[in-house]
Structure formats: C-alpha cells, structure tokens
A and B are shown apart, each in its own frame.
Chain A
Amino acid sequence: MPVEYRWPEQGKTAVVGHEQDRIDGLAKASGTAKYSYDINTKQMLIARMLGCPHAHCRIKSIDVSPALQVAGVVTAKPMKEAGAEIQWPGEPLAVVAAETEAAASEGAAAVQVEYELLDVYVDDTDRQAAEAAGRTAKGGQSIELEREPGEDEDEAEFEEREIQRLLDEAAKEGVVVEADYGIHAITHMCLEPHGSTCEWLGDKLTAHLSTQNVSGTAGQFAGPLGITADDVTVHCDFIGGGFGSKFSPDAWGVVCAQLARETGRGVKLMLTREQELKIAGARPSGFIHVRVGANKDGVVTVWDSHHWGTGGPDSGSIRPAVVPYVFAPPNRRAVHTVIKTNTGPFRAWRAPDHPQACALSQTAYDDIAWKLKMDSYEVFRRNLHTTRLPDVYAAEMEIAARLIGWKEKYHLHGQGPAEGSVVTGLGMALHTWGGAAHDSTCLLRIHPDGGVETSLGSQDIGTGTRTVIAMVVAETLGLPVNAVKVNIGNSKYPPSGPSGGSTTVGGVAESNRRAAQDALVQIFDLVAKKLNVSAEKLVAAKGRIHVSGKPDQGLSWKEACSLLGMKPLEVRGSYSRRENQPSKLSSETVGGVQMAEVAVDKRTGVVQMRKFVAVQDMGLIINPKTARSQVYGAVIMGIAYALFEERIIDRTTGEFLNCEIADYRLPRLGDIGEIVVELYQPESEYNRGVVGLGEPPVISPGAAISNAVANALGVRVPVLPLTPQRVLEAIKRSNV
C-alpha cells in the first residue's frame, strides 16, 4: 500500500508546531560555527582584488608586476585584459595572493592600471533625461481593460481613450490621484562578504563557499576550471547572509580556486566591505508616475502608471506584472522603462520586485484615502475584492488593527494631535508571495543502534534549516529533536534546491517527511513481525514503537532498530514539484498585512518607529520560534530601507559614496520601536501544509511606513528612504 504523505492533524503533533531552540544555536552564539570566512587551511594564502576606481572606463594596460615586489605577496594575476570596458565601479581588475591580509591589500593597491575614462551615466530618477541620453530600454507593459476595442478600432488608440475616459469619470464622481513615488537602490550588505576558501587535493577541489546554493555551485566551479562537477566539493556549514545575492561562485570564486591550484596552497578570497557593497548585489531602484481613479467610496476603478529604475548597466528593475501591487483593479495599465546606468548590477534581493512595487503603488492607494478624507483601512478593505486572497487579508487586517489599536489611534491624514513639533500617524500595506517548496532529496539513515541521521545538500541561510529538518524527522519517528543528526552544507550530499524565494523549509520538509514516513513503514514491518501484531496498528511516539493506544505493547526505538540486523536502513526522500504536487505536505501563496505607527518631528524631519504589527500566514508552521524571528528580521530589514539605507552615487563620477559600514545607514537596536508579530495559522492554513515565509514580511514595511508618515504629516514624502532631509523638503514644498 503506498504511503500517504501528510502531517498529523493540527494539535496532534509532538514536535512540529512547538517552540524549538535552534539546534545550532550554541555554535552560532558562542562563535564556534565556522563560516567560509572562518575556514583556515594549512599554509593558507589570503587573496585580495583590485577593484576598478572608475564607474565607466576602458582598460588601456594592466601590470601586476609591482604587486610581486610587495613583501609577502606570492602571486598576482590580472582579471581583465587591456581593451576591456568596465561598466561599474569596483569591478575586479586583478587579484593578489599573499601571506597575510595586509600584504595582499598592499599588493592589490600596487597593481598598475592605465584607464581611458568614458562617459558616466548614473541618474536613475529622471526618465526623460535618460531617454534623451539613449540610456533606456523598453521594460514591457501589462494591461487589462474591461471593455474591448471595436472591430476596426486601433488597439493602442482605444486603450489611451478608454483609460482617459475612466479617469475623467473618476474625477467627476470620485477622485483621481496623480502623483510620483520612488524608492532608491539598496545593496544586500551581507555581513559575511561574498567569497570562498579553496583548496585542492590532487585534482579535486574543495571550495568552502559562502553560498545559498550548496547543491548548485559545484558545476559552476567546474566548467571554468576545466574539470567536471564530480571533482568539486562545495562546503558551507554556515553562511553569513545572502538575501538572494549568493547563488554563484562568481568570478572571484573561480579565481580563488585558480590561485589555489597554481600555488598549491589553500587560498582565501573574501570581498572587502567596499567591494561587497559595490559589486556583490543591489536591489533595483524604482520611480513611478501614477494616475489612479477611484469612485467616491474609495474603490479603485482605473490605474495607469509608468515606472522606471535601474538594475545596473544592462537590465533589471521592477516587472510591470506586479504593479499595482496585490490589488488588480478592473482597468489597469503599467508601463515600464529600464534605465541603464554605470552602477553595480542587480541581484535578486529578498522578494525580488515586490518591496518596490508595494512602495510604489500602495502609497497611491493610501493617497486616495487622503484625498477622499477617508480612513485608509476602509480604502484598503473596500478594494480587497480585487486581490487574490480577500478573505485572508480581511481576517489579517482585523487582527493587525486590533494589535496596533487602529480604531483608537487613527485620525485623518495630517489631522492628529501634535505634541510640540511631533505628530504621529498610522499606515498599512498588504503583500503576497508564492513560497512553493523547491525540489529536494535527502538520504535518511537509521542505524541498528538507533542512531538517526539525514543528509542533504541544503543550507541554513539563517532561517534555521537544520532545526526544521530535525523537527520533521523527529516528529515522524516519534523521537526527541536531539536524537536526529542533520548533515547539510555539502554538495556531495543528495541535491536540494537553492535557498531563494522562500522555498527551503517547504522543500526540506517534503523530502525528510517522505523519507521518514517510508523508513517508518519498514521499521513497523519488523516490529510487527517480532510482536506478532499488524503493522497498521503500530505508532511511533515518545521514543517507542507500539500498538496504538497501548504503549506497553511495543519496543523502544533502540530495540526496534536492532531488528535491522547489521546494516543501517537507508531511505531516500525525494520531492519534485512537477511530480509530487499537489502534495498535502506543502503548497504555495501567502498574504500578509502590516501596520506601522510612527512619530515624525516636523522640525527635524526625523521619523521614529513607535510600533509595527506584522500578521503573517504561512500555511503550517513547523517552528514558531524561528518563524517569528524571520518576521521580526524582515520587518527590521524593511524599516532599514524605509527610513535609512540607500546606495548613494556621485552624479558626476559615478562613485559609490557610502560603501563602508559607517556611511551606509542601517537601523541599530534602538531604532526599531516595538514590533509585534502574529503568526496567522487557523486550521485552514495548517491544512495547506508548509508555505515559505522568508520573503513575504519584508515587502510591506516601505509602503506601510510611508503611509504612516503621510498620515502623521498630511504630506506625502514621495521617495524612500524617508530621511530627515526628504521629510523636511516635502514639508517645505507643501507648506504645512
């Protein structure tokens, strides 16, 4: 009889759904967890790269020989050839390996390069100027209209006319908001920079790579090195942040492996902080011009927008399909233009496109409330029928409103009481994300002495992957969490998907639950024979295999496993989305509602977080403790891009001005206010199985906080982050 893969009913689990400390918590907290940066091999060299000081130039010549004169330097090589065009600042030009970090830095600085400077283009805010300069590309558009053009009508003309008609109608009977909004580019700023420590044993490479993609990077090393993936082991027990930027070894990973091969020594090449910010990933900027019409009840009838932004020299920026965000009014058009700039290329940043799309469009929805003199909550509520999850949002909005005290505290935009120059306000936003489980394979091994271990090429990007895996296996086998050993972080283990897009917990839960259920069937068979009972009657609970309802009629886990004889039982658990969906273990698509309460000082322009409420659904919750941490963390990252962080580029030279920690503003512990996290898990959610959680809660903070500031001031500060300067400028423009 085939096993039916499913979770126990809600409330009937022993481990899943219960608060569980991380099993690697002690290692992380006491500094014994080894990250790629921490791997020291014997006789190791340290490598540093010279980054291009110019945003746009051509390399006329490059001479690494002066680096070899620096004491301690062992080898140096160019990474670009004469004639190469450099399109963004910091692009690696040469690499130097030395006995110490200091000597490697000295060596990299000694490399001689001649540059031919080329025109620099970095302004991503002005679309017309970029068009005039020939720096734009079409980014596509998405359009949906209720009415169809007539038989002989030109489609484009019809669209234009129809949108105008709808806007005129809204202006007459309701309201039209015509406005601009924006959100600047930010970086990933992983605290552990990108990089690796590489060593060769004969022809075999071990790359201790800081990666979100343990199973997928061996092949990426192999190709450029002229070997095959079987000769590469990628190892990463711990990764110090990735956020979507660490899926590949990158050019610097490959060069590190080359240096190691050439010198016959281990080589560590980690980016400097400056390089990490300049070249290792950015989130595209977004700016938008919107015309949005609503009826007098605040229900949006038409949306028309054109947005633009930059993801670097080639492409990137926000897909029009997610504009307007979450809401899909019956008539809508979103046009998108890409601006090509001499800035570091974008990489996927936690929930790609969504945070920007949310900040560019749910601000406009809030401005409808402001113009109609309505409660923002009402406007959001009345448009829920145009979302894909109206019931989930409605329920979550009620919970969030209660937790933040919306009814008691809300006032119309700009009409709250002031304490001196300080005003307070409330704002909200909604988000959505897929979060389907990725493909995952694991090898579960149960030893005759009762030992249990599972191995898979997954990774812990901070979500607590190890702990989740141990919980799933422990739950299934009726064991305590600490009875399960979890082996991840090695590409020689069975392949498991990259950690991106909130797919990991679902993926590893799928493969491990399947493996453990299958293993249990075999153990049950052995025990059933031994006890002369029917295997169907057996259960695994509290470290015993026994007849259901009769704990005495059974064997301890150890005794049961001894029936395996000499060989461990090995079971492969495998999940693939194509073959195994629909699955009762996992599904996809979540909502999420967030509300912010801020205080703004009109005199200084400083925005202070008072309170932030995040209500989040995620299907079945495996570990509420680490799930809550994900939401806290996402909200804090959201506060960061809403109020503090941005990549600041010199308009003339293209230089990245704030590429060190002291200059790249991020919130600190005292800046976050009170954060309330509510995990929304009614039975309907639980029964959906696991859905990923990492991305969704990072999406709404920009819009929610911007809306709260607008509510406090009665003035929209249109561009994020809402720095004191931007707040003061907005106040000045509006003369409040």
Chain B
Amino acid sequence: MTGKKRQTGKSIRSVFLASAVLMFGAPALGAGDIERGEALYGKCIGCHQVGEGAVNRIGPQLNGIFDRPAGTVEGYRYSNGMKRASADGLVWTREKLDAFIEDPRILVSRTRMSFRGMKDEQDRTDLLAYLQQYSDNPSDIPEATPRVVGADHDLDPAVLAIVGDPAYGEYLSGECAGCHQDSGANDGIPAITNWPVEDFVIALHAYKSGIREHPVMEMMAKRLTDDEIAALAAYYKDLE
C-alpha cells in the first residue's frame, strides 16, 4: 500500500465526516472557539510560549507551528524520538497536531513532551483554533495576547540566581535516575532532561513548598537544599 493511496482514503473520510457533522447542525470542524482555546492553552503554557517574543522553554515556542515540519524550531534540542519522527516526514498539519495533543506518545513514541493528552475533541478543536492565529500569518500575531510567561512563581530571585555545580548535580541525580531516565524517556514518569535551569528550579521549589502536590516529589524535593536544586538543574540542563 502506498502512502498516496492512504492519503486519498483519509481525505474522503474526513470530507464525509465533516458533512455528517454539518447535517446535525454542529459547528463545522476547524471552526473552534478561540476564547475557549485561549483558556485551554493554560495546559500548555507551563512549557510552551507563543506570541510575540516567544522563546523556547521546556518545550519549543509554538509560533508558526501549523504546517511546519516537526522538530525544526531553531535552537531547541528535541528528543531523539521527535528527531526520528521529523526525519520520517512528520509535518504539523491540523490533523497531526490534533492527534499529538490527544496523546503525544501515540503519535511520537518516546517524545519528551510529558503531557497526558487532551481527550475531548471539542477542547482540541478550540485549542487549535487559538494556536492557529499564531500560524496563519506570522506578521499578524495578535498584539494583545503575548503569552510569554513561564510557570507562575514567587521564588526569591536570589534562589533563582544560584549557579549550580553540575558535578554535584550528577551525583545527586543518582537519586532521580531510577525514576527519571537520563535518556529522556517519558513513560508514566515525566522526562526532566534538557530543561531550562529556571523552569527546573521553579518546579522543584513548587514541590518543596507543597504548591505542587505529589507525594513522591514533595518528599524528594523537601530534603534538597537550594544549592542542591541548583546543582541538579545545572546537570539536567545539558543532559541529552
């Protein structure tokens, strides 16, 4: 079976689906609710920036994502899983984005994106409608919505400024490695390799203070000093 044939089959099916939906009076596929989508983007914002001035954080920035080949944002270090998918020709069509957000690991096995998936179809439609604004015409990026904040935090800047010792971080990482794999694999336990230092430090302090709840991680973080958290961040930052 050639790829071309499958393509044809698919487009026939989606045409059929679209008209079926129209018959029942539901909104046509693709016409999502942008405002709802903006709220739903809250699930992504801890890791992805989008809008004017967006930069790569835990995940790549998402401006112009529609119809771009996967794994190609300048300066972002993708997982081997994403690099492989990209080499295999994955392009972020609306359909592929929809599948990825529904369950990242089904589309891109061993991706580093630790997101459990958005199961509701309408949610995804709305979210993609929101994201598409930042793709349709890059010069047309809505000015009023520069969603460029990272995770919210009230961490003392002095704590964020600590420069960690990666050698100590490597030793400390022994305590993490039985759960978080150095390879960046992400199965049941999220990947923590390659994170920007600041995000890593914020995440661990969130567990340490109990703002973010998780029994294992709260216990792990509670015993880490500020210097140790900085050391771990310095080590994981460069781990591929």
The answer to whether A and B come from one shared complex is no
Measuring CB to CB, which residues of chain B are less than 8 angstroms from any residue of chain A? none
